[in-house]
Amino acid sequence: MHRLVILQGGQAIPHELTEDVTILGRLPESGLQLDSNMVSRRHAQVIRQGGEFVIEDLGSGNGTFINGKKAEGTVVLKHGDRLKLGPMLLRYESSNGEDSVSPSSISAPAAFQVNVTEENESATIMGVGENASGFGLLEVHPEAKLKAIIEISRSLAGTVDLDLLLPKILDTLFSIFPHADRGCILLKDENSGQMVPHAIKHRSASEDDSVKLSRTILNSVLEERKGILSADAASDSRFDASESISSLTIRSMMCVPMLDLQGEPLGIINIDTQNPVKQFVQEDLDLLLAVAGQAALSYESAKLMTSYAEKQKQDSEMTIARGVQHALLPEELPKIEGYELFASYEAAQAVGGDYYDIIPLEDDKVCLAFGDVAGKGVAAALVMARLSSVVRSTMIFVKDVQLAISEINNHMCVRACEGRFVTFVLMILDLKTNELHVANAGHMSPMSRLADNSITEFSEDSIGLPIGVMEDYPYEAVSRTIEPGEIVTVYTDGVSEAMNYDNELFGMEHLRKFVATCPTNATELGKAVLADVKRHANGRPQNDDITLMSFGRIK
């Protein structure tokens, strides 16, 4: 990728270099039209030569400048080169440009250009501000520092928008330091660790939207957490080779860290001046350190406020989602003559992936559906919502349990989310014969507590693959007659795998023994099991959704 980026009015307009020859000029037919009377009609041309591009002036009236130097003949373009054609400013970008991974590396948005240059290690640093934490050394010129802190606090008061906060900081600095010409704020990206420009300010609006920093200074500020002062840099003979100093005629500059509450650098503030008479002095550096301390605190506060507002919005949305999900569950259990029903659903998070439904069918039949989506949270809740819709629409037309679960599985396999399968039990109770037909897709077998307090479960051989794993899977159906006094309980692994602070599971064996001793009433049995699960957890927060459904034939 090779392109020229036009820097104009605070915006960056990219133009890809796809042709072997691109004319830059005022004419509309130019490969890259530059709308300015000070640009010649055919000002310059960019030529592809192998894997690189060169630029050549075409005898323009105002010349073509590269990094502040007038181009003579053809000049090979390098990544980051700044071009000036009349008043028009451009930047050349190449995918072959080097990427730095050092702490002082720069990753700049398109609208900002901050370049780090290599310089003599000792030459640029003329002064050091010790103890950059907090508000700097308040005992040095405390009146000036207090005034500056009050001024920036007043300017930033009530600002929680991070995009507005940082430019406000620079505006205030330019009022505190009236001879400042350029300023920028760089913040460390939490993921990459790179320093990213977030705000740049020039006293003159016509200035190039680029700022150059010394790698020596940037490294010192970040690593030593100290403010750096470079005074009268342009007149120092030791900087003859420093393009960042000479081409931008930097007379004096200051760079200070913005430290978070733990004293770690979250960014830097850099300002410089081109005024040869009014240069920065040590007192200015001390003042900037104090202001940077308050600016960092304001930025941290704004970040916390932004995070809090986002959290409040998410909580509100999750509350709505919770209400929507609960609306998918039966609002109240149907009344079935000769049977008692109980169901309970408790998500580990705001929303969950457990599911149950009780659907009265024709011919005195009742559908009881029960499922557990792999995982929990929002993703599981979305799958659960889809499952609820599929089950309802399928049971309108299909009354055979084996055929119904196959249709439900095929529906869920279409556009299934990887890893989001569902363990599922589909039951149809015939109220005329009291026969229960069951198809099990990877779930724990329903547990029947008989009238004599014994426990029975269906054979594991009847358990098939979970829903959503394999299309056209041949599920089996098993049946049993529900006798008077018998209670059938279906549960998710949030019950059997509930854990206490000693990492002990509630366990299947304990569940079977407890159910065998429970009251002979479906509602009381369900409530007793849930209470025993909470007793076992002993205050440990649940790590999975807990759902249980019991139904029993009245004696």
Which tokens in the block code for residue 259? 């430290």
pLDDT of residue 110: 39
Answer yes or no: is pLDDT of 400 > 50. yes
Alpha-carbon span 338 to 361, nearest angstrom:
16
For the chain, the residue count is 555
Q: What's the whole-number average pLDDT of the chain?
A: 81
pLDDT at residue 419 in the model: 64
Token readout for 76 is 């090979």
For residue 512, what pLDDT band results from cuts at 50, 70 and 90? very high
pLDDT of residue 78 exceeding 70: yes
CA dist 351 and 84 (Å) reads 58
C-beta atoms surrounding 158 within 10 Å: 5
> What mean pLDDT comes out for the span 466-475?
93
Question: What confidence score (pLDDT) does residue 318 get?
Answer: 81
pLDDT tens per residue, range 358-386: 999 998 999 999 999 987 778 888 889 99
Using CA atoms, how far apart are residues 153 and 489, in angstroms rounded to an integer?
64
Between residues 467 and 234, the one the model is more confident about: 467
Percentage of the chain modeled with pLDDT above 90: 38
User: Which pLDDT band, with edges at 50, 70 and 90, does 295 fall under?
Assistant: confident
CB 324 within 8 A of CB 389: no
Count CB-CB contacts under 10 A for residue 21: 11
Tokens in use for 107? 């990753």
Question: 16: part of which helix (H) or strand (E)?
Answer: strand 11-16
Helix residue ranges, H only, 329-474: 378-397, 401-413
Q: How far apart are CA 456 and CA 486, in angstroms?
A: 10
